[in-house]
């Protein structure tokens, strides 16, 4: 599996969309769940598993996860965060 990282700096109230593109042969959602985590200092909080947003992020109605198959072995997981 291969993915590229990025650092974003946003002002309060701005929206953004995060993308994680990766390649993998024989990708399976259940054997290789794609997740986003929020990291702040030494704390790591699970945001989603596949397209399911986890509490407390679910309660804000600001997060939306989506998954795309770009090619046979190339995939994109996206996370939209509304202001």
Torsion of CA 51, 52, 56, 59, to 10 degrees: 90
Phi, psi of 24 (to 5 degrees): -165, 130
User: Residue 81: its pLDDT value, please?
Assistant: 92
User: Residue 41: its pLDDT value, please?
Assistant: 83
User: Residue 5: its pLDDT value, please?
Assistant: 64
10-residue stretch averages of pLDDT, the chain, 83 residues long: 68 90 87 85 88 92 93 92 91
Is the backbone of residue 42 left (phi > 0), alpha (psi -120 to 50) or beta? alpha
Round to whole Å and give the CA distance between 36 and 20.
9
User: Residue 71: its pLDDT value, please?
Assistant: 93
User: Residue 56: its pLDDT value, please?
Assistant: 93
Centroid of chain to Cα 53: 10
């Amino acid at each position: 599996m291969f993915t590229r990282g990025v650092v974003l700096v946003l002002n309060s109230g701005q929206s953004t969309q995060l993308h994680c593109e990766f390649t993998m042969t024989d990708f399976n959602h259940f054997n290789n769940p794609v997740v986003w985590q929020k990291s702040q200092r030494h704390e790591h909080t699970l945001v989603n598993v596949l397209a399911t947003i986890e509490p407390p992020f679910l309660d804000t109605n600001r997060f939306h996860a989506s998954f795309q198959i770009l090619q046979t072995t190339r995939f994109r997981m996206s996370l939209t965060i509304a202001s």
